[in-house]
Structure 1
Amino acid sequence: MSHQPASSFDQLIAILGKKVNLTGGEELKLTGTEIADILWLILQGQESAETTPAVVVSLPKNDTTDIILPTPTQLFSDKNPTPLVQKSPSVDVYHSGKLPPSINPSHSDKPSRDSNTLPIKTPDAKSLRDSTAIIRALRPLVQRIAVGRRKILDEQATAERIAEEQGIPIPVLKSAQELAFNLALVVDESNSMIFWRQTIEELQQLLKKSGVFRDVQIWGLVTDNQEEIYLQRGIGKKAHHRRCSPCEVLGSSGRHLILVVSDCVSAIWHNGKALSVLEIWVKQNAVAIVQMLPESMWLRTGLTLGAKVQLGNSILGAANQRLFVKEVLLWNDIKFDRGIKVPVLTLEPDMIETWSEMLVGKGTIGAGGFVFTSPPKAQKPGARSVKDAEPKNFPSQEFETKENLTSEERVYRFRMTASPMAQNLASLLSSAPVITLPVVRIIQETLLSMSQQIHVAEVFLGGILKPLSPITPKTHPDGVEYIFIDDDKDKKIRDFLLKNSLRTESLQVIDAVSKYLAENIGNKSLKDFYALLKKPKELDAAVEEAKKNKKEALDSFDSKRFAEITTKVLKRLGGAYARFAKEIEQSQYPQVEPPKSSVTNELIQYSPKKFNNYENDFPEFLENHSETFYT
């Protein structure tokens, strides 16, 4: 420690000890604890100044760092790859004596436990693409209202009064306030909603942590064997299986919101049973439907039972029956004053913000929704039965069985109805050797950051994809693999979509999918995974071992199909990529020399070189083996 700091330090101790008056006012009155805190803070400041000097980095004047991108041969080779950055003279930059490079596990020089693997964590990307924007869109709902007779101290008003009264401490009280709204999130648990399980889980966690609502409760909307609707607390595996009446969801008028998350395609939305539940709720609370499908598909759902309108409101948290119709967007023979008015929105931030502003009473704002007539008490003769209304399985399977379209017609129809973002996503998926929901989310994260959940719905419900296995309520959605509808035939849909994708994007997709699978197959590195592609038996063994560890992502993994699609895309890239594709093909389909039959041996004997008289000898050979060649 230098002389000057020590002298100053001694002087400070003397000042504190004598309680010297430094301000010209009263003498310093410090406790022993306060003096100890001051001394400790000074010591910490001096130690930091001595042990943490400014870091000065000096590089050679002519130093250049050459970036070397890997060639295709280096990328797919089993040999050690060329490093991406060519080493040049440099200096180590870190805190001297305090933070060695090995402090960061990611830069540790220690070898991993398995020298053949390199742990590469590829976390599952989020299904809700911009959760921050969703919270921002809900900001109008952050309203505080006075509750009960409880009073609390108004600190600011009290301070102002004390200043005005020249030091007389007269407290100012105000009514206790709390957030205006509670939320009941009701999730439709029909078969088709299994596809959106990840999105719903992220949504409920987001709403609970948002700070927008005083309380958030999760309910499941379930039907029994008799197609009667009941509710249960929680969803999925966390659900409490006690049957609850729809009335249990109701809350205080003006302070309780009910959001129904559904795609509106199950039978209860077509036969009016869901409307019976909505009719109970809208009389007392504010209710809205969070539609999982894009707006362009709404008219293919049970929402067609109503008329599309713009709804307005002038009262904070008004129940739906007090909403007024601003504009009729799609006419239907419905009495709007007596109908069931329900706002409908997607998870797009713009729609959420519009609905939020309408709900808090901004009369100039109109939110999109539908008005339904009261459901009939009994089903009309000739109406579609529950069995007919319930989708048998995933909706895209209905497209395949009910519509006999060619591959060209399917692609044309998809491009005519899908948004540009959905078309881009479909083109990228055409390069993916495996199509699962986690793969889709990774592609969105890496290549289509602006895409939303509704664009995924457009692709998967656009009539070009189908699941490889049936989807049941017990199916884990992330373990279901999808293929293009004609992949088991002529594969023209994939070819048409590949034409619209850039070659660089195709390679990025293959890398992203391979990294995801490599992480699930025993934390393999990307190079190790590519090496396994040329060893199908070892790859299959590794996959089977990973499945034992409950890796849902590998439930339907087929190494041959993966290799087939990968080689198809790599051949399109040409050069070393095409040569690597050929190596994969040769490993998948090794050329086995067939056993030579007696006929083959005689053909060799009667080769043109050995025919003395071709016109006589060769016809004689054919005549002797006529049964072989002409039967």
Structure 2
Amino acid sequence: MADDGAQQEGALEQLIDRMRDSGLRPDARGIADALWLSRWLPPSGEPAAGAGTPEPVQGGAPSPTGLERTVSAIDGSESFAGGRDTTTAALRMASPQGTEGRVDEDQPTQLVRVPTATAFSGLLPLQRALRPLQRYRPPTPPRRRELDENATADVSARCGLVVPVFRGVHRRETTMQLLMDVSSSTVVWEQLLEELRQVCEQIGAFRDVHVHFLYDTNPQYAPYADAGTGSVAGPGPAHVTGLSVGARPPTGHPGRLPPLRPADQLRDPTGRRLTLVVSDCAGPLWRSGRAQQLLYHWARVAPIAVVQPLPQRMWGRTHLPARPGTLTRRAGGDALGVAGWGFRPRRAQDRPGRGSSSVAVPVLSPTRPALGAWARLVAGPAVAVPGSAAAWVYADHPGARAGSGGAASSDPAALLDAFNSAASPAAQQLVVYFSAVPLALPVMQLVQRAMLPQTGPAELAEVLLGGVLTRATEDDGAADGGPWYTFRPGVGELLLRRLGRGEAALILKHCSRYVEHHFGRRARNFPALAAAYLAGSVPADETDSAVAAAGADEALPPVSQVPQSFAHVARQVLFRFQPRPPAEPRPVPDSAGADPTPVWRQRVDQALGQWRRDRLVSHLLQAVQLLRDPPEPAPDSRAELADVLITLWDVTHDPRALAEAEEAAVAAVAAVPGPYTSYVRGRVDRRRGDDHLAAGRAAEAGRAFADADARLAEAVTGLLAALQGGSGDPRAAQDAVLEHTDVLERRARLGDDPGAPGRALGELTGLRQSWPPGRQVPAAVLSRRARLLLDLAAAGPAGRADAQMAVAELEAAARTLDGPALVPVLFDLARAYERVEGVTSEAALDVLYRALRAAAGSDAVEADCRRRLARSLRARWDAGGDRSELARAEENVAIAQNATRGTPEHPVLLTEWGDILVERVLAEAADPAEAARAAGEAVRVLREALRETRESDPALPGRRVLFGHALHLRYTHGGALTDLYEAEWVLGLAARQAVNADDHTTAAKAWLEHGDVQRLLSGRMESAAASYLHAADAALESTAPDAAVLAARAHHLRGEILEAVAGRPEALDAYRAAWEQWRVAGTANGPQAALTRRRILELERSDRGDAPGSHEGGLQ
């Protein structure tokens, strides 16, 4: 026993010594990780990685060691922890569109949403640091005043007269605005901005928190073109700084600008608005000096600070160089700009020159101490903050001179040495970790948060700006999980040498643990591909059927929109430890000179058969390799190669696969013109059009689709003629017609050929009539023809007849399918029944329940079935159905939303659930307990939907209106008065946001609900009347069909209030305006219009003193 203890103690000492020699910290966590890894390390006698390529054992495949299994888990070939769980999924990134990437072996993938890592190590410390801002009070007198009863009684008693005394009402009136300049680094710091917004909203110090993006509308500087968009904002209205603010630049549309307004409109001289500018101060706005001029004008009247995410030692190299010193709050200062602030630089040479009009703007690092010190200084307790930093800005702040930086060294070792000499130890360790992962910003943030949780934005900035990385994509890459970066040539290989085998596995371990802990719990996600690696093969259509059944309009973005997986980056780690498999030998004739063509043909067919069965890209690659170099040139081998390459491009979106397919198709058409080669060339043209369309090149896409239309029409004509003559291949004709139908539908959506759907319907009808007798027409043909019949069906009896034909076609198609593949057909069948019988169709409801049964076992497809079922049940309730249908709709949408957590669809489903719950409150008037339950649940669900909705989402104002309505209903069913106050705030915010977005219909609904809430609050009748007037004005600006009805309701409700607070003349004007809108809406004979007419007649009779009924015929 003593010997065993001594041996264990010696082994532990050796482990600590080796960790120190390797540069690892031998603390408790490091030793625990090393001991965990030791379970999967090979014995010391086995060859180490990098010592050479291990020779395979004769007589069988080499058995991978435990560490090889662990390291290969980074690439996804086996699950981590030594392969104990063979059903785990490897998460992969999708490479940015348009970038080159090698086609490599892959597995079936499905798009999933991975939680984005936080920019800060924790938000609670920041909330505590900024909590002193709750004590901040604007120096201007409060705008609201109320009667002070005690002071009035006291003064009146002393004076002998009634002397009213008023006092200011100190409500929470301070707002926070967060600004970020639009530049190439906007997407890098956007997560930091979003978390700052969340912190400011949750500390309870502000009435509202706004986020704005800063644009330069002066065409002299063209900053937006510098941001990689290639377009320049036009000149805006004349104002002091020439800058404008707006929403975030639209993702995926770099040339499009959001609506802008002058930035000076946000300048608040009352001190009720605090401003934080989040920027690295390196963009074009700072280079031109316009941003500094904006800071100067704003800092003179209100508190403002710059949050600088770069490390402090880099601040001096930005366009806003901060100087160390002490920020002070002047005695008797009013906390407004230069009237209340002071700054004493640490060095005399950092003071501004005499006679210069300058202002010191605080520059803060995004850390708890810096933000907390600024908050204490703004709110009042602190009078000086030593060790702070500020930058001098001037009214005519000059722009930066064009520098001529020296050329960067191309030697990777020199680049890495330069980085290490200036970077912090944490940044040096972080860049080593990045060598083992794809260099997409969300993945880099994930690795940072998992491996070095104590670090923040500064360390990430050191890596991004340290000279070892370059930007791989010009745009923000949001659609592909970007932006993407790449190491400078040779740097990545050097960093991989510093990456230990254990560290590579630890990155996977900690990142996996982080993702598992936060999966489905964050509103912000980025797209990744989950590849299932099993011991044998993977079911062929498991993912494809689920995605197809989910519906093209409501499912997650299809995998085809995400061009490449990220495995080729992570395999750099794997290739350090494992050799590549040998290439397939080319078949050669035997010694007797036998023809190798049959063997070659058999191997091609075998590879393609394995692809259809297993859906493994390696089989496609094998077929491509064989078809590229046949033993003897065959007339149709080029066409077959192009066909297989098109399939390969559909899976991988490698641009080289499409280019080679086009080259092979052109050669095939030239060599053997005919229907098949025209079909293959048309398929290539269609994919080229899809590629242009995904990149936003609509004109090029239209030309490519036109070429595909012409070539596929030629192929379809020839193949159908052969089929009608009895010599054609039905399957080839089916493929050509369906491919042509896809192209025609795309041309119709682009507006290039409005008659394209009719042509597609004619070809499908011809294919159906030409199908060989006695053989079942495929379900794909029947369902596609039925879908076109529904899309082209007109209103009235003729349309109903087309819908009945679609029902027959879809019923026939459904009889040949089962499982998830049946679900899309049943969705179309339910739509056809609703077209024939109306929304209350029992047959449509039965079909949707049948689809739900068919989707069993696939969570995504089942969730989509329940969502459609809930919508159908809600429509039946709206058409006069039973309350039980509304209850079933609630049950189905509640189950569906559970399956979509962590996806962009989740807040949408939560909103639909909340809308159904609100309707249940109104439907359960006879059951107060059930109505109160539904109201409380609606508030909870809609609050969660708002929490998961981004500020830039155009659906946010509408969701806030629904949430405010739910709060109103909860108050009326036993809620607290705080529900009304929260509803008032939310509805006002929704109305203002809708007006800014030119959504006048939503603004009108928000103001209407806002007025209803104001009427329930004591002493708010005049405010309610003002809200109704805003609602009427917004409705008149709207072009929605119900705009006139909204305006009429708003005027009528305003008239009811004016009768009580303003008198009959004003009320009569409001009622007459309401009556005019009822007539415009065509509902002058409705019950609501009758109430308006009755009030008009009664007020007119009261003014004239007439008898009741004497002038009823005068109002028409």
Is TM > 0.5 for Structure 1 vs Structure 2? yes
- What corresponds to 1:262 in structure 2? 279
2: CA distance, partners of 1:282 / 1:499: 51
- For residues 411 and 237 of structure 1, do their structure 2 counterparts lie closer, same or farther at Cα, with a shift above 3 Å needed? same
Letter in 2 for 1:449: P
- What corresponds to 1:498 in structure 2? 499
Is this contact kept in 2: 1:289–1:345, CA < 8 A? Answer: yes
Match of 1:190, SS?
Answer: coil
Match of 2:394, SS?
Answer: coil
Is this contact kept in 1: 2:305–2:362, CA < 8 A? Answer: yes
For residue 329 of structure 1, report the CA deviation from its aligned partner: 4.7
1: CA distance, partners of 2:325 / 2:134: 26
Is this contact kept in 1: 2:472–2:486, CA < 8 A? Answer: yes
- What corresponds to 1:344 in structure 2? 363
Is 1:139 paired with 2:131? Answer: yes
Match of 2:385, SS?
Answer: coil
Letter in 2 for 1:310: T
Match of 2:180, SS?
Answer: strand
Is 1:450 paired with 2:454? Answer: yes
1: CA distance, partners of 2:392 / 2:361: 8
- What corresponds to 2:571 in structure 1? 563
1: CA distance, partners of 2:435 / 2:274: 41
For residue 351 of structure 1, report the CA deviation from its aligned partner: 1.0
- For residues 510 and 554 of structure 1, do their structure 2 counterparts lie closer, same or farther at Cα, with a shift above 3 Å needed? farther
Match of 2:206, SS?
Answer: coil
1: CA distance, partners of 2:323 / 2:318: 13
Is this contact kept in 2: 1:307–1:331, CA < 8 A? Answer: no
- What corresponds to 1:208 in structure 2? 201
Match of 1:235, SS?
Answer: coil
For residue 212 of structure 1, report the CA deviation from its aligned partner: 2.1
User: For 1:537-586, what per-residue CA distance to the aligned partner results, in whole angstroms no more than 9, with x for missing partners?
Assistant: 99xx99x9999926799556454343233332xx2xxxxxxxxx33xx21
Whose relative contact order is higher, 1 or 2, with alpha carbons under 8 Å and at least 6 apart? 1
Is this contact kept in 2: 1:268–1:274, CA < 8 A? Answer: yes
For residue 596 of structure 1, report the CA deviation from its aligned partner: 9.2
- What corresponds to 2:714 in structure 1? none
- What corresponds to 1:414 in structure 2? 419
- For residues 131 and 562 of structure 1, do their structure 2 counterparts lie closer, same or farther at Cα, with a shift above 3 Å needed? same
TM-score (ref. length: structure 1): 0.58
1: CA distance, partners of 2:432 / 2:496: 10
1: CA distance, partners of 2:430 / 2:113: 24
Letter in 2 for 1:364: A
1: CA distance, partners of 2:426 / 2:572: 27
Describe how 1:267-306 pairs up with structure 2 within 5 A. Answer: 267-304=284-321
Is this contact kept in 1: 2:271–2:302, CA < 8 A? Answer: yes
- What corresponds to 2:327 in structure 1? 311
Alignment partner of 1:331 out of 349, 373, 386: 349
- For residues 296 and 596 of structure 1, do their structure 2 counterparts lie closer, same or farther at Cα, with a shift above 3 Å needed? farther
- What corresponds to 2:905 in structure 1? none
- What corresponds to 2:94 in structure 1? none
Task: Give aligned pairs, total.
Answer: 442
- For residues 371 and 507 of structure 1, do their structure 2 counterparts lie closer, same or farther at Cα, with a shift above 3 Å needed? closer
- What corresponds to 1:25 in structure 2? none
Is this contact kept in 2: 1:334–1:373, CA < 8 A? Answer: no
User: For 1:55-84, what per-residue CA distance to the aligned partner results, in whole angstroms no more than 9, with x for missing partners?
Assistant: xxxxxxxxxxxxx97755776687995479
For residue 254 of structure 1, report the CA deviation from its aligned partner: 3.4
Is 1:478 paired with 2:468? Answer: no
For residue 407 of structure 1, report the CA deviation from its aligned partner: 1.9
For residue 321 of structure 1, report the CA deviation from its aligned partner: 5.4
Is this contact kept in 2: 1:309–1:326, CA < 8 A? Answer: yes
For residue 343 of structure 1, report the CA deviation from its aligned partner: 0.2
Structure whose residues are more often helix by fraction: 2
1: CA distance, partners of 2:409 / 2:589: 46
Match of 2:335, SS?
Answer: coil
Letter in 2 for 1:508: K
Match of 1:479, SS?
Answer: coil
- For residues 232 and 435 of structure 1, do their structure 2 counterparts lie closer, same or farther at Cα, with a shift above 3 Å needed? same
User: Equivalent pairs: percent with the same residue?
Assistant: 21
For residue 352 of structure 1, report the CA deviation from its aligned partner: 0.5
2: CA distance, partners of 1:121 / 1:505: 22
Describe how 1:14-163 pairs up with structure 2 within 5 A. Answer: 71=66, 82=84, 122-143=114-135, 145=137, 147-148=142-143, 150-151=145-146
- For residues 514 and 302 of structure 1, do their structure 2 counterparts lie closer, same or farther at Cα, with a shift above 3 Å needed? same
For residue 462 of structure 1, report the CA deviation from its aligned partner: 1.0
Is this contact kept in 2: 1:251–1:285, CA < 8 A? Answer: yes
Is this contact kept in 2: 1:484–1:493, CA < 8 A? Answer: no
Describe how 1:483-562 pairs up with structure 2 within 5 A. Answer: 483-486=486-489, 489=490, 491-498=492-499, 502=503, 504-508=505-509, 523-525=530-532, 527-528=533-534, 549=557, 557-562=565-570
- For residues 507 and 144 of structure 1, do their structure 2 counterparts lie closer, same or farther at Cα, with a shift above 3 Å needed? closer
Structural RMSD (CA): 4.8
For residue 178 of structure 1, report the CA deviation from its aligned partner: 2.6
Match of 1:218, SS?
Answer: strand
- For residues 551 and 327 of structure 1, do their structure 2 counterparts lie closer, same or farther at Cα, with a shift above 3 Å needed? farther
User: For 1:222-265, what per-residue CA distance to the aligned partner results, in whole angstroms no more than 9, with x for missing partners?
Assistant: 02343274222433349994432232111243332121111111
User: For 1:478-515, what per-residue CA distance to the aligned partner results, in whole angstroms no more than 9, with x for missing partners?
Assistant: 323322212xx474432354269845535536867999
2: CA distance, partners of 1:349 / 1:553: 41
1: CA distance, partners of 2:206 / 2:191: 22
2: CA distance, partners of 1:82 / 1:467: 38
Structure whose residues are more often strand by fraction: 1
1: CA distance, partners of 2:304 / 2:452: 33
For residue 281 of structure 1, report the CA deviation from its aligned partner: 0.7
For residue 353 of structure 1, report the CA deviation from its aligned partner: 0.8
2: CA distance, partners of 1:429 / 1:364: 41
For residue 175 of structure 1, report the CA deviation from its aligned partner: 5.4
Letter in 2 for 1:181: T
For residue 289 of structure 1, report the CA deviation from its aligned partner: 0.8
Any unmatched runs of 5+ in structure 2?
A: 1-37, 41-65, 87-107, 151-165, 222-234, 236-241, 520-525, 592-1116
Is this contact kept in 2: 1:427–1:500, CA < 8 A? Answer: no
TM-score (ref. length: structure 2): 0.35
Letter in 2 for 1:423: Q
Match of 1:402, SS?
Answer: coil
1: CA distance, partners of 2:563 / 2:109: 22
Is this contact kept in 2: 1:197–1:477, CA < 8 A? Answer: no
Alignment partner of 2:216 out of 210, 219, 223: 223
For residue 452 of structure 1, report the CA deviation from its aligned partner: 0.8
Any unmatched runs of 5+ in structure 1?
A: 1-67, 85-115, 158-172, 390-397, 572-580, 599-631
- What corresponds to 1:437 in structure 2? 441
- For residues 491 and 363 of structure 1, do their structure 2 counterparts lie closer, same or farther at Cα, with a shift above 3 Å needed? closer
Match of 1:562, SS?
Answer: helix
- For residues 318 and 493 of structure 1, do their structure 2 counterparts lie closer, same or farther at Cα, with a shift above 3 Å needed? farther
Letter in 2 for 1:564: Q
- For residues 562 and 144 of structure 1, do their structure 2 counterparts lie closer, same or farther at Cα, with a shift above 3 Å needed? closer
Is this contact kept in 2: 1:74–1:81, CA < 8 A? Answer: yes
Is this contact kept in 1: 2:440–2:484, CA < 8 A? Answer: yes
- What corresponds to 1:612 in structure 2? none
Match of 1:352, SS?
Answer: helix
- What corresponds to 2:245 in structure 1? 232
Match of 1:259, SS?
Answer: strand
- For residues 378 and 423 of structure 1, do their structure 2 counterparts lie closer, same or farther at Cα, with a shift above 3 Å needed? closer
For residue 342 of structure 1, report the CA deviation from its aligned partner: 0.4
Letter in 2 for 1:313: R
